[in-house]
Structure 1
């Protein structure tokens, strides 16, 4: 019978420099995540335990019913439904139209670099500078308190087009030459070859777009006046003003509002990192 050798783990075999590096990284991880840890811990405390001195980070007995009470105090189901629409539609739009525009900017047509430079210049214009003109336009279209007003202005993004264009440039041109030899047109090459090879970049665009719309507060605030059209961020502000000093319920609401974005990032984080790294390789 063959003997199985098991290597024993020993800290002495790990370089001291590596231990210091990981210790520093662990410290910063805990420091950065401390607000979130405090939020979750506070959401599980009782009302009196929040203001107990000296305070303790974790509750003695977790009170999970705080989440049910916080959910019942506001129409969160409607808020989440509105936010999902306001986030998913622009995300799909930025992936589709971003791929079309990015592919066009990879072509060497006359004036392409000048047009692309001016196009990137729009990224430097802050949203606050265009807030009033955009609101006036959508008000004239009667899109206040509508899903069109929450989604249509964001179905394209200069940043998404820039990121996809940079990623498309890293893909060898041999693929396109082979597609042309086989008789394929530009749309066939884009959607059947280029897009499947750019999954990491598309996932990165989707994550940026989704989180941007999910966490947006200003635009839904001015575009919605009815409670039935509010998103979770506007709903959080209203909930805070109505709940007052009910910190346990407020932290519980903050937790389940933040959870979808955290879960989404954990699912796609590997593709996200690859997309960000590869999108800046070639200009």
Structure 2
């Protein structure tokens, strides 16, 4: 009975995995199809996934497109996402450490106010943030993309859960040995939260890599645009060139897949540990 249950479970998991991966396979293989063949096969057969005629022309047209500099979009997004991720890890880890280990007046009240920000939809703050960027003169600049994204309330909450698990005795021993508070934070507290830091870094990088609405609003210069907005430029009043869109989406997926490939162990560990400690 146990073996039968395991077999049924495995079959169900395989079916769910195939259903989940099918759209991704169609996207990747569709990027290698000529436009005329893209929607030709709609019934369930092998050619729905496997192209009849393979071509690299779609990738060539996307990469070497003079009107839409796709490689520039990738560079802009990589630059902004990397800087935001580094700043988020630095700023939010220090804030989380303060909430977890330091004593200061009204700490509970301040933390509760921070947590209340998690229930506010991003659309509510969209207009005020835009007006703030306008008043500061930051529109159409990287500062409008980087600075508003430096603080993550969820990141502070998650890291605080990890830092709270660090024994106070270890910090007290470090203080007795002459370690300053910053040295204790760097040498003792941060190493204990490496899985959480990597998890937060991946989530932050992915969120900025997939960002669409905010860059669309604050960036007008096409050479400074982010990748998701750049992909949308393959649509026009004359129609959407879906072959180019699929090729561009395939190219934009590669960096994220590589990140998860090398850091998936830490990501899963961070999610699991945060669930246990939460």
TM-score above 0.5, yes or no: yes
Q: Which runs of 5+ in 2 are unaligned?
A: none
TM-score of the superposed pair, with normalisation by structure 2: 0.91
SS of the residue aligned with 1:188? helix
- When residues 239 and 16 of structure 1 are mapped into structure 2, their CA distance, relative to the original with a 3 A threshold, is same
Hey, what's the Cα distance between the residues in 2 that align with 1:242 and 1:34? Answer: 30
Instruction: Select which of 83, 103, 118 maps to 2:97.
Output: 103
- When residues 82 and 242 of structure 1 are mapped into structure 2, their CA distance, relative to the original with a 3 A threshold, is farther
CA drift of 1:245 comes to: 3.9
Aligned to 2:72: 78
> What do residues 192-239 of structure 1 show as CA deviations (whole Å, max 9, x unaligned)?
211122110100110111011111111000011111111001111112
Q: Find the structure with the greater CA-based Rg.
A: 1
CA drift of 1:65 comes to: 3.1
Hey, what's the Cα distance between the residues in 2 that align with 1:69 and 1:27? Answer: 35
CA drift of 1:66 comes to: 2.2
- When residues 243 and 163 of structure 1 are mapped into structure 2, their CA distance, relative to the original with a 3 A threshold, is farther
Contact 1:167–1:280 at 8 Å: present in 2 too? Answer: no
TM-score of the superposed pair, with normalisation by structure 1: 0.90
Are 1:68 and 2:60 counterparts? Answer: yes
CA drift of 1:135 comes to: 0.9
> What do residues 106-157 of structure 1 show as CA deviations (whole Å, max 9, x unaligned)?
1344432222111100111111111111111111111111111110111111
CA drift of 1:267 comes to: 1.6
Hey, what's the Cα distance between the residues in 2 that align with 1:62 and 1:243? Answer: 26
Contact 2:234–2:244 at 8 Å: present in 1 too? Answer: no
Are 1:30 and 2:18 counterparts? Answer: yes
Aligned to 2:175: 180
SS of the residue aligned with 2:234? helix
Q: Which runs of 5+ in 1 are unaligned?
A: 1-13
CA drift of 1:53 comes to: 4.4
Q: Give the RMSD, CA atoms, in angstroms.
A: 1.8
Contact 1:67–1:253 at 8 Å: present in 2 too? Answer: yes
Hey, what's the Cα distance between the residues in 2 that align with 1:199 and 1:179? Answer: 19
Hey, what's the Cα distance between the residues in 2 that align with 1:53 and 1:78? Answer: 34
